[in-house]
Amino acid sequence: MNQAVGGFILTDINNALKQLPEHYRDLFVRNFEGYKYHEIAEDRICQSVR
């Protein structure tokens, strides 16, 4: 894949992510970044307790 096609794909992915509600977008991005499900859940629980 060349850089031009990769740029279009990245733009499409970012546009799709922007359409998601923030809490879904955050979960998806964290999972993509390599966080485990239990790490994401623990963080979300800590945020809701504050």
**pLDDT tens column, 6-43:** 778 889 999 999 999 998 999 999 999 999 988 988 88
- Six-digit token pair at 1? 């894949």
Stronger pLDDT, 16 or 2, i.e. the higher one: 16
Note the pTM of the prediction, 2 decimals: 0.63
The pLDDT value recorded for residue 1 is 62
The pLDDT value recorded for residue 30 is 92
Q: Which one-letter DSSP state was computed for residue 24? A: H
Stronger pLDDT, 45 or 23, i.e. the higher one: 23
